[in-house]
Every structure is written in C-alpha cells, then in structure tokens.
Structure 1
Amino acid sequence: MEFKHVSVLLNESIEGLKINPQGIYVDCTLGGAGHSLEILKRLGPAGKLIGIDQDPAAIANAVEKLQGFAGQFYAVKSNFYQLKQVLQEMEMDLVDGFLFDLGVSSYQLDTPERGFSYMHDAELDMRMGPDQPTDAKELVNGLSEEELTTIIRKYGEERWAKRIASFIVRERKNKPINTTGELVTVIKAAIPAGARREGPHPAKRTFQALRIAVNNELGILEKAMKDAVTALKPGGRISVITFHSLEDRMIKETFKELANPCTCPPAFPVCACGKKSQIKIITGKPIEPSQEELTVNPRARSAKLRIAEKLNI
C-alpha cells in the first residue's frame, strides 16, 4: 500500500520554525514526510534535517520521497523518547528547530492490518512500531475490568468507560476479542442507543485510549519535549501539533512550566529558587486549521499547533 498522509497545519508549523537555511532541524514524527519535505525545501546546501520515526514503513517512504536531498536528510528508525541518544549518535549537540506532529498517521489508519481503525475489520494491534512488546489485543484480553475502565476513562475521556470495560470482560469470557470489528461490536452494545446517535463514532474514544496505552504516548511526551528544549540553540524553535485534548493539555502545561519555572511563593520579593525561564511561548492560544484546510482534510479538525522559542540563558 502506498504511504499516503496529508500533513496538517503544514505552512503554519513550518513558518513557526523560522527556518535558518544553514540550520539543523529534527522532524521527530516523520510520518508521510510532508513536513520534512517543506523544511528541506527551505534549507541551503549546509542545512540538515534528521527525520525520526519508529514505523519502518514511514522510514522507507521518506527515504524514497526525499532521495533528492542526499547528504542533507538523515532518516533514523527510533522513538522520539530516544531523542537525546539519537542526537548524541549523530554528534549534534544543539539544533535550530524541532517539529512534532503527534498521533496516528493517515497511512496507519488506512492500513487495516495495523489494527488502528474502527472503520476496518482487522487484527487488534495499534502498535506504531513493530518492535513494541504489547499490542491492543493483549490489553483488551488481559487487563482487569478496573484497569480497562481507568485506561478508557483517562485516555479516551469516555463517559461510558466502566460499562464498556464490563462488556469487554463479559464478552472475552466466551471467546477472546481478537479483531477491531469484534471490539466495535462490544462497544456498540455497551453504549446506550440514545448516546450512540449523537457525537462521533461510538468506538472512537475507546480506540484512542487503547492506542495511547499501547504506545505509551503521554508517558513519553513530556520527556521528549524537555529533551528537545534542552537541545535547542538560543532563538531556535519547537512546533508541536496535537490531535486531542490530553496531548494539547500536556504540551500547554510543559511549555508553561519551562517558560515560568519559578517555584517561589508569590509573596517573595525576589526569586530565591534560581530556576530560569528556558523558553518564550510564541502561541498564546494554539493555532487551528483554516476552513480551507478542513474542507480538503476533515481529519485535521481537532489539530492544534503550539510554538515556543528557546531563550538565551
């Protein structure tokens, strides 16, 4: 299957990086390589781009798509949790900009055998990288009802989490839930008919929750953000695109912590904790897709872009 993915907030995220043509940039979520291509177009001969992705299909696609930038583009199969190690191995201490386009790619959603989508019947998987030890099938069939409830409620913000978990546990006593279609059927049975008629697809929040849990998405995000800011040159920027409220909240809070790290009580006349601001937040409110973009790519509707700039500490 051809690797197709429409890059979201493409111009806004790249403009936000304020590209230095001679700079070094890192696309931490290579995906369909659309953002990487735009960055490379703006680099001069001395400029470099590192593209990181844990999905071998994304790496293979990027290498082919960006073959005209040999000597400037470097693809690395890794998770951005390993960002610090990747930069050390590339012998790059400081870089000019980072881009994160979080969430699942259109290719992953549209490839049934990856098991991400509630729209295609396939084996339950949801791993963004094939080397990951745990897939969605193991969670659905192995976790307790309480653990499933917590995951679906916390990561899916699903009001029917307890009921869905209860129906999953009841169903798997008869036989294991092995496919996305089987899981969708259980979720639809668990959610009352009146609630199913309004809002998004009834399985959307549960599938999101399982995907986040399988890939430990929120667990690795805060560390990756802080590692990226540490590796930024003064004046360098970081652009982060999120697709659901949990991610956006984490980015917002992490940026706020790095911009205003002082822990002194408000009554203190001067700072005594010694913690210095590391970044300036460029986007007071997140940038959202234009109506024109949403017309072309409805999947962009929940996207939000936040940008920060490294201070000269």
Structure 2
Amino acid sequence: MNFTLLISYIMTLIILIILIRYLPKERYQFIFTIPYKKLEDGRWLGKNITYYGFFNALGYTAGTLVTTALLLSFGLSFLQIFLMILFVFIICIPSSKLLAYIIEKSPHGFTVGGAVFVGVLVLPVAIYLSLKLTNFSIEFKNLIIPVYAVISVGYLLGEGIGRLGCLSFGCCYGKEITKVKSNFLRSFFESFYTVFHGECKKISYASGGCGVRTVPVQAIAILLYITTSFVSILMILKGFIISSLITSTLISQLYRFYSEFLRSDYRGVGKISSYQKMAILNIIIIFIYCYIFNGDVIYPEIQKALLEILSLKFLIFAFFIFLMTFLYTGLSTATYSVIEFKVVEKLKQLPQKS
C-alpha cells in the first residue's frame, strides 16, 4: 500500500506541475460554448462552460471518492456514507456561494473556505442523522474523529485539485511580486511566480493584473494540499487517526490564514478577513472535538472498501457528484460569448445537385 501511494503521488505531482504551468494561459479558461440566442446580425450569444467548473467538479469527486473509500474501511455502509455526504453537500455547496456574496459582494464566485467552515459545524449533525436513519452499531462518539480525519483528507485532495480551477479562471490571485514586503519572499518569488493572460481572467478585469508576475498562492496551495493529503492518508491507514486530523487541519487552515496576506483579490473588509477568522475557528473547533470525542480507536480495514469501490453503484455515485458539481460551478455567469458559424470554403465549391 505504501508503494502504491508513493507511485500515485509521484504521477499526480507530475500532472499537477504541467497543469500549473499551462492553466494561467488565455486558451485554458473555457472548455466549450453553448449557443442559446441568435442576434440580428446572424451571430449567436453563447454560454461559456469553464475549466474552473471542470476542476471544481474533479476536486469534489476525487475528494468524495477518497472519503467514501476510507469511510467504508471503517465499517460504514455505502448508504450511510451517501446520506452523510448528501447532508453536507446540501448545506455546504449553496453556502459557498452565499458566503462569497455576503463577504466579497460577488454574485459569480464560490468560497471554499466558507464551505469548509460550515462543513466543520454541521458534520456532527450529518453523522448523527446518517447513523440514526440506518441503525448503525458503532457508537456516535467513537466515530466522530475518524470521520473528521477522513473528510479532512478528502477536503485537502479536493481543494488541491479545485485550485487548478482558480488558475484557469484567474481568481484567488496573489499580489504582484514587487508589492511583497519581505525581501526574502520577494527574492524567492522572483523565480517562482504565476502570470495570467487573457482579458476574461478575473485578475484582468478586477485588478488589471494581466501579464503581471504574481505570488503563486494557488500553485503553493495545490502542491501543499495534495502532498499533505497523501501523508494524511498514510497516517490513517497506519491507525494514527488523531495525528492525521490534526496534521491536515493545521496545514490547511494555517496556510489558509497566512496566504490571505499574500493575496490581492478582494477578501472583504478589515486587516484580518472573515476567511482568516474562519480558519482559526476551524482549528479551535477541531481541537475541541479531539478532546471531547477521544473515544476508542477504530482501525481502518481497507480491504472492506475494495469491492464497493469497483461496484456499479459506486461509479454511478461518482458520476452523479461530478455532473452536478460541474453543471453548478462550470456555467460561467461572469462571461459570455458571441459566436459566428461559417461553412468551410471548400464545401461551397462542391458541385450542386441539379
């Protein structure tokens, strides 16, 4: 299992490095466009489908699948996991858009930090309801920490992949390198930076930062979160459940807090943003939970998950998660297209039927 994780991590890292290099380019913002209204001049207005939505959906799906597989190894049934994740998604996905609107006054974006904060608060209720509805035998108290540890890993993996969408859309961007106050960091970011291209990138129309070297906050988050997720998975498989939870929580939330100082996009009012406050509260809440719910240790049995992972219902579940998230986050409300359809000139010269 250790060797499999290592190979998976190396392959994932290679793919991520390639994507980090290319996604800020202009051509990698939109996947396709759907025409929906014909204009008087014969052209069409189009709805844009984005890579932002694709990577968000991929992140949600990957995080959910890893979470599901690990929860299965703790003895939960597929139905219990489905109900638990459904309860969390029903609350967290709309909350991510609502909090982005309240804090950033943005009707077009989503906030992962806000969704995580809400998820940390509502997860015990989701666990309790899913167990209550299915008459689960393991005590609620003993299950809290393993579920939080597993979902924390799923969040890290999903967040790491989802940040690729930020690179594509040009959101959640860092400061210009020249505006970094620390001489050491400025020197470091002279060699490791992100440059966005394209007028439709958020950094371009919101801050005029097209073609400017910026602090690579998204790239750092991607590499840091994915690496931590693999380490945390290994900890869980070895039985270090609390250590995994504390490690994943501290790394994700402390970076979330610090990275806000390196970002240039609008984060709400105040020197300490609402998202930074949420990150600190997340750490405090998790430590409180670790103290209160430190019950009997439950060791994962990954063999229990293998048959379920390969089942048809599991694949349908994954497809459903991807499709719903892709449709919800992939349809751009910040951009539009004007499309013109033409016949290839060679086809116009074909002999006409008499």
Same fold (TM over 0.5): no
Greater relative CO (CA pairs within 8 A, separation 6+) = 2
TM-score by length of 1: 0.31
Relative to total residues, which structure has the larger helix share, 1 or 2? 2
TM-score by length of 2: 0.29
Relative to total residues, which structure has the larger strand share, 1 or 2? 1
